[in-house]
Structure 1
Amino acid sequence: MKGAESGMSALAKAMGMAGGTNPAELLRDKLISKGFDAFIYESPVDKMKKQIEAGEKPDINIYFAGKNAIADFVKDMDLVITLCDINEGRPSFGLSKGGGEILWYVFEIPVVAVSCGQPTMLADIPQVRTYINAYDTKDSTFDALVENLMTGEEAFKGQDPIDSFCGLFDARL
């Protein structure tokens, strides 16, 4: 999940100041190193952006064809980890409904949302059943996250220092 790009983050990218490891790639690589078959979902909008960057005419049909039947979407997955790397503002959901950007499939497959920068993201995705505040995207944080995800029910022992439910009753359901 991505946030709406701010003017400052766009400027940093344009000046070559933004960078570092993509948190989704870092998490994927750590899961693969533990033997999991992990991949990063690519939205129809991201596919169209790649076509434009490659100098190709974007295929608008990708957007409309990006909708999935539930059985097709979940057939090859055991778990979905939604990484919320948003440092400011609110999430920006993709335009495609029926794709992976909007968490519509929480009853069909286990979903874990991991918030890296904005600990109050649960208010924007209250339908998710498991929500973890990692607070940052440091390598050591992701090592601990992957290790704790693998060790079972007793893995997370920390206390959340804020009200991640944001006082909302539906975030607790």
Structure 2
Amino acid sequence: MKVKLKAIHIFYVLYLLGLFYILFLYNRQIDLSWMVKGGWNELVELQRSRTNWVFFRTILRYLQTMNYATGMRNIIVNIGGHMLLFTPFGFFLPRLNQRWQKPLAFLLMATVVMFIIEGLQFVTLSGSFDVDDAMLNVIGAWLGFIFLRKPEEIERDFYDREIS
């Protein structure tokens, strides 16, 4: 059992390193110059046009461009990519700590983590803050949580509940 848990830890660390590379370094550049150029106001101004606080705004924009040549590619890469990228998160987290095995606790933790990631992309200028990205990431993590579980875990959660 200890060997299996150690292997899960190793693969989780490798997954996190890959995730960090994709989210913060791949085709991106971390830029903290706003700290000396004008502080928080400078950052907000730099990110103003790239920030989305409205649910489904980005997703609807992708769906509106679906009939263009690059539209379907954008949908697959952006919508599918976000969900696929965080599916392993839903597999690993519950295996590393029992408290994240409960569905509600897992969803809350996944939501907090995704907003932290979006916030870090915002302050490092390696991306933008997009509530749709966070939502898609949580959906991907949830899919990993649900579908990458052992059959006995699924049975325990859905069939062994007391009826009141």
**Pair in the same fold by TM > 0.5:** no
Report the structure, 1 or 2, having the larger helix content: 2
Q: Which has the higher contact order (CA 8 A, sep 6+)?
A: 2
Report the structure, 1 or 2, having the larger strand content: 1
Q: What is the TM-score with the length of structure 1 in the denominator?
A: 0.30
Q: What is the TM-score with the length of structure 2 in the denominator?
A: 0.32
Q: Which has the larger radius of gyration?
A: 2
